[in-house]
A and B are shown apart, each in its own frame.
Chain A
Amino acid sequence: MRPALRFHLDGAPVEVTDLHPTTTLLRWLRATGRTGTKEGCGEGDCGACTVVVVDPAHPERGPRAVNSCLVLLPQVADLQLFTVEGLAQGATLHPAQQAMVDALGSQCGYCTPGFVMSLVEACHRPDLRQAAPDDWRLDDQLCGNLCRCTGYRPIRDALARVAGTSPDDAVATSLSAPPASPRGSLDYQGDGGRFVAPDRLEDAIALLAEHPDARVVSGATDLGLDVTRRHRRFPLLLSVARIDELDGLDEAGDALRIGAATSLSTLEAATATALPLLHRMLRYFGSRQIKHRGTVGGNLCNASPIGDLAPVLLALDARVELASVRGRRRLPLSEFFLGYRQTAVAPDELLVAVHLRRPPPDARRGAYKVSRRRELDISAVSAAFVVHEIDGAVAHARLAFGGVAATPVRAIDAEQALLGGSLDADLDAALAALSAQVRPIDDDRGSAWFRRTLAANLLRGFVAETASVPFAPLAPGHSATVAAGSQPSGASR
């Protein structure tokens, strides 16, 4: 048991004691006089609070820009933390800072520290070195940062100057150190709260069996809002972030296993070739910062009707693996969501992994997300489709949606309507079945009419697109409007 939280802040060791574990990193930074890091919203949506972390146990993952307003202080224990205040060497600015000055990337300057930190991450992304000006990854790198003054053009210019340049800075030094041993476990207590992060699954489920009232936390991008917006002070938090078994993607032939605590950015990188359908959806998921913290398990257990991974995973017939001291069990994801924000996870259970198989290479497939703003926004409707035709007849159909019911759902009747027929010819029957099944919610993100219309139109678009009508000429480049996620296959045409 450790009494204190220890981490490195801009290269210097820091020890924190006596603070409640729900204290956010941002509040701590500002309360201790490090006011260079700003608060613009406290809900992960503006990026003014962005800092960069490096996990010494995983330098290969590179530095990660994260929203310090949603990071709980115990979550940075044993990590290396970099803030805007530690970048300049005396009067010499960091290249990311210099690029912002040179490109006139600041006006009021309030968003600037956050942008600088996103640029610092970009400096160390070799994959951005040759990015074309309209590469979506450049937008993705910045979309978690809002600026109300500049209109972004100069900031994007600054990004283009430094992306992938791997400067020899303090971040580089921490990345080049040999990987440290894994972080081990953590049991922190302060101000009446406790934060436990076991490094073995057995310990975690044992703790949960003993304290069914413990609140599980993974990346805290959902749970953090309970703290910052609803002012919850959880007395006991159980973090799954240090359990190796829950981290990462494993492939065995066509079978894939995704650990529940795998961060969405790790998953995004791993699925670019392994599972393009999921990768496509991740492209439109939150922001870079959110994807660095948010996890697969958190997204599913949060059970939002508009969670974006569920439709894709439903369309892929994913199964979830749950564990408790009573043992392990697997169940299909379609049986996981019981009702509005309700899941089949028992109070003493943890979600361990998601299992799925790659779809047949000649299946028609697509993943789509429609939100008011293309980037960093919650879906009005998201959808994923996998349809396999053999000799012109539909042999397998999965049509899954988010935002059209109280939970993410498969449109079973519409799937049935397609079976044995042809996707192109029987579309109308499928649409009719779909329209009878969807019961969309009506809220500020979209009326029931809008969601109903979108559900039908996305299916229409999918059919057209995978039949090679130019449904989505916007897809490849800058700020694609429609996520045309399919890999049209010769065989299906």
Chain B
Amino acid sequence: MTGPLGRPAPHESAVGHVTGRAVYTDDLQPPGCLHGVVVPAPVACGRLLAVHTAAAAAMDGVVCVLTAADVPGDPLIGPIVHDEPVLATDRIRFKGQAVAVVFAPDREQARRAAEAVRVEVAAEPAVLGIDAAVAAGAFHTAPHIIARGEVQAALDRLATDGVVVEGEVRVPGQDHFYLETHAALALPQEDGDLCVVSSTQHPTECQRMVARVLGIGEHRVRCEVPRMGGGFGGKESQATAPACLAALGARATGRPAKVWLERHEDMGTTGGRHPFLGRYRAGFRRDGTLEALDVQLFSDGGWTSDLSGPVMDRALFHLDNAYFVEHLRFEGRVCRTDQPSSTAFRGFGGPQGMVVVEDALRRGARALGVPPEQVRRQSYYRDGQPAPYGQVVPAPRIAAMHERLADDAGLAARREVIAAHNAASPFHKRGLGLMPIKFGISFTNSLLNQAGALVLVYADGTVQLNHGGTEMGQGLHTKMVAVCADTLGVHTDAVRQMRTSTDKVPNTSPTAASSGSDLNGAAVLAACTTIRERMRPVAAGLLGVPPETLWFADGAVHGPGGASLSFADLAKQCWLQRVSLASTGFYATPGIAYDAAAGRGTPFFYFAYGIAAVEVELCGLTGEQRLRRVDILHDVGDSLVPTIDRGQIEGGFVQGLGWLTDEQVVIGPDGGVRTLGPSTYKVPAVGDVPLDFRVQLLDRATEPGVVGGSKAVGEPPFMLAIAVLEALEAAVAAFGDAPFELRLPAHPEHLLRAVEQARGHEVPA
């Protein structure tokens, strides 16, 4: 068999990408299209007194100015709790909140008119940041607690028998910085129906919320997604508001209406990764075993609850990372602040949780006087041990992967080389760091673990493939085409991946939680299998062989003794014999459930594993660092398309690197975001990536029960970048013996500060 599964392949749209022909939402320019520009709230908090729109409405070109009063349906949207007014009603909840939206045929006209709208607010003091929210008692959620064993007793015992460390970590936020900003285009259809083209990871959510704000049935709204220029979680819930605003414009004017955000609007209003505050006490046995862990987490959810609850859940679920901890208490709570709403971002809280436990682990290792590796080796999950929430971690692969990476990357020898270099080099020190990960796969909200597909085979043997997942660059469509072609035994060019559309597959889950190919792949497999099994008896009849002896491959159906029939001929015969060539497919992940009140359950279908080793060099004069070498061993099960998986691993690692080093979201004292573009917000550039970047996929890694034996790969590699912190701390420590604190993100100023501390010099608070 020579199916496409497991083979290297370019991205399904690669030619479209390189020629500029691949279409994104803002590239669509229907005649008569209006452009909507949002009027932002001028302050972070206050009572909205009045919105004066008359002057703007009278300006050149302006077709309409809409405020909350113009919303025909329910103005409150939101993915879980509907607490997000699509246009401000009575209160202002963050600087930049949408108060009105101006539509004009030319975006520039709309923008000028938006500036002319006067917003009257009785300003009130704003709650900014986690500390202020905690002090004010401003929370979105009640505490979520996961506990087992006797953590206090264990810590008391380990304080004498072992080592107990305490720490506080401030984990930074992050802007998604997808290259394509948010965009939505609403196209009026017959009878007031609407088609919304959106750059969204969650077309069903857009459909639902548009129907809600317009006060019409979901069947009157179709949401289409051509593709996204990057999503990373930022277009899971946050794409809904632009879609609703565009829909309101189309509804009010009967014309196509587009809302596209300029970069500064996108960065200033659509939120990013949740900043976290973690406080912990960790108890270690003398041999390094992490035995007791007591952690309290707060996250900054911003003005709406959005996805903050589940993000906190996932952070709590990953406070154990890859380590079995006997006694533990994890508590997490989401703060409510007058800032843009934090939202989903690759890893979904998992990275923040892992940064906290890894900080505890490094601090513990320092206190014990052993390398962090020893703590890890002592603490890795062993077969059959339960995770904090009770789910058994089956056959954990991580300990073996650690040994293999240590060998392949020659860590022991390199540590000696590094020590020698550091002894001889006064200004540049090197450091090595590791990061193992265990990442739970499935939406933590169990109900979302479902997916549908619709496969249409035409009488010439060509195939249209629809599924509920969206393409944002992660290669989902490439993988789905491979699954489809493999199941039907056709060539990938016979399969046309169609735009994601809610009129093909309804009630979809967001393409998120790394689950896109697991869930949609299973649905595509089911649909294709149904069609193939209908075709089989037809082929058996034509070839005169028993049906069970047939196999589908290479664009044909084959039987014993060289009998064969092309797939196209078979499709035609099926049509002539009135056999259905279309099928839906559906999949729901079996066996998962979680009880948040009890903090117990089986939230994950399986775990993905990976481990990275990173070597850095740090300049003690400037705080500049660079990565000298990265080695990654990652477990993707049996890769569906290895080239795509490698791309996810490298890209995820580099995005994590940016999060922990040079990217810093700055919020001003007025609550406004100050980092509004790439001039001040520095995502990694080409030179930040090490030339020596070695990625291996774990072999013989079949994951039973998942399509093609594969594993999810979208999020897990992001967290491998946490190795950089260990490496940097090692390099800082090589400058001096004094205690230091490396603040995050570890950009040159924070690194130089730590180096100065390590040298025993005074640094400002």
B15 x A460 contact (CB < 8 A): no
- Asked if A111 is at the interface (CB within 8 A of a chain B CB), the reply is yes
The residue of chain A having its C-beta at the shortest distance from the C-beta of B761 within the complex is A453
Q: Report how far A469 CA is from B620 CA in the complex, Å.
A: 14
- Asked if B22 is at the interface (CB within 8 A of a chain A CB), the reply is yes
**Total A residues in contact with B, Cβ cutoff 8 Å:** 86
A36 x B473 contact (CB < 8 A): no
Closest 8 CB pairs of A and B: A36-B20, A108-B473, A110-B229, A109-B17, A479-B687, A151-B654, A107-B473, A45-B678
A104 x B643 contact (CB < 8 A): yes
- Residues of chain B within 8 A of A326, CB atoms compared: none
B763 x A449 contact (CB < 8 A): yes
A481 x B229 contact (CB < 8 A): no
Q: Which of A153-161, A349-357, A410-418 contacts B (4 or more CB under 8 A)?
A: A153-161
The residue of chain A having its C-beta at the shortest distance from the C-beta of B748 within the complex is A372
What are 25 residue pairs bridging A and B, where the CB atoms are less than 8 Å apart in the complex?
A84-B19, A88-B19, A100-B17, A100-B18, A101-B18, A106-B13, A106-B14, A107-B647, A110-B230, A143-B687, A151-B693, A152-B685, A154-B650, A370-B623, A373-B684, A375-B686, A376-B685, A454-B622, A458-B621, A471-B621, A472-B427, A473-B425, A473-B428, A478-B687, A479-B687
Q: Report how far A446 CA is from B181 CA in the complex, Å.
A: 28
0/1 string, B744-765, CB within 8 A of A gives 1 = 0001110011001000000110
- Asked if A150 is at the interface (CB within 8 A of a chain B CB), the reply is yes
Which residues of chain A from 78 to 94 have a CB within 8 Å of any chain B CB? 83-85, 87-88, 93
Q: Report how far A479 CA is from B13 CA in the complex, Å.
A: 31
Q: Say whether, besides A139-B687, A146-B678, A372-B682, A481 and B177 are in contact (CB < 8 Å).
A: no
Q: Report how far A283 CA is from B663 CA in the complex, Å.
A: 23
Q: Quick one: which of B178, B651, B675, B752 contacts A453, CB cutoff 8 A? A: B752
A470 x B425 contact (CB < 8 A): yes
A106, A142, A449 — most chain B CB neighbours (10 Å): A106
Q: Report how far A429 CA is from B235 CA in the complex, Å.
A: 56
Q: Report how far A98 CA is from B436 CA in the complex, Å.
A: 37
- Residues of chain B within 8 A of A85, CB atoms compared: 19-21
Q: Quick one: which of A96, A139, A377, A473 contacts B682, CB cutoff 8 A? A: A377
- Asked if B258 is at the interface (CB within 8 A of a chain A CB), the reply is no
- Residues of chain B within 8 A of A453, CB atoms compared: 752, 756
0/1 string, B376-417, CB within 8 A of A gives 1 = 000000000000000000000000000000000000000000
Measured CB to CB, the closest approach of chain A to B75, in angstroms, equals: 30
Q: Say whether, besides A97-B19, A112-B18, A151 and B11 are in contact (CB < 8 Å).
A: no
Which residues of chain A from 56 to 99 have a CB within 8 Å of any chain B CB? 83-85, 87-88, 93, 96-98
Which residues of chain A from 152 to 204 have a CB within 8 Å of any chain B CB? 152-156
Which residues of chain A from 422 to 463 have a CB within 8 Å of any chain B CB? 444-447, 449-450, 453-454, 457-458, 460-461
Measured CB to CB, the closest approach of chain B to A142, in angstroms, equals: 4
Residues of B whose CB lies within 8 Å of any CB of A are: 10-11, 13-24, 26-27, 29, 111-112, 176-181, 227-232, 262-264, 425-428, 472-475, 617, 619, 621-626, 643, 647, 650-655, 662, 666, 674-675, 677-680, 682-689, 691, 693, 747-749, 752-753, 756, 763-764
Measured CB to CB, the closest approach of chain A to B242, in angstroms, equals: 16
Beyond contacts A45-B677, A378-B679: 8 other A-B pairs, Cβ-Cβ < 8 A, are A97-B19, A107-B473, A110-B180, A145-B686, A148-B178, A148-B230, A375-B685, A479-B687
B262 x A42 contact (CB < 8 A): yes
- Residues of chain A within 8 A of B763, CB atoms compared: 449
- Residues of chain A within 8 A of B651, CB atoms compared: 107, 148-151
- Asked if A474 is at the interface (CB within 8 A of a chain B CB), the reply is yes
A84 x B20 contact (CB < 8 A): yes
Q: Quick one: which of B20, B179, B622, B666 contacts A482, CB cutoff 8 A? A: B622
B622 x A481 contact (CB < 8 A): yes
The residue of chain A having its C-beta at the shortest distance from the C-beta of B681 within the complex is A45
B685 x A461 contact (CB < 8 A): no
Q: Report how far A75 CA is from B682 CA in the complex, Å.
A: 29
Which residues of chain A from 20 to 40 have a CB within 8 Å of any chain B CB? 33, 35-38, 40
Q: Quick one: which of B11, B179, B679, B691 contacts A40, CB cutoff 8 A? A: B179
Which residues of chain A from 104 to 139 have a CB within 8 Å of any chain B CB? 104, 106-113, 116, 133-134, 139
B621 x A231 contact (CB < 8 A): no
Q: Report how far A134 CA is from B629 CA in the complex, Å.
A: 13
Q: Say whether, besides A38-B180, A148-B230, A370-B622, A142 and B263 are in contact (CB < 8 Å).
A: no
- Asked if A220 is at the interface (CB within 8 A of a chain B CB), the reply is no
- Asked if A43 is at the interface (CB within 8 A of a chain B CB), the reply is yes
- Asked if A41 is at the interface (CB within 8 A of a chain B CB), the reply is yes
B229 x A108 contact (CB < 8 A): yes
Q: Quick one: which of A48, A133, A481 contacts B624, CB cutoff 8 A? A: A481
Q: Say whether, besides A133-B691, A373-B662, A447 and B178 are in contact (CB < 8 Å).
A: no
Which residues of chain A from 284 to 315 have a CB within 8 Å of any chain B CB? none
The residue of chain B having its C-beta at the shortest distance from the C-beta of A41 within the complex is B263
Q: Report how far A163 CA is from B562 CA in the complex, Å.
A: 49
A142 x B688 contact (CB < 8 A): no
Measured CB to CB, the closest approach of chain A to B497, in angstroms, equals: 14
B20 x A113 contact (CB < 8 A): yes
Q: Say whether, besides A35-B27, A149-B651, A116 and B749 are in contact (CB < 8 Å).
A: no
Measured CB to CB, the closest approach of chain A to B11, in angstroms, equals: 6
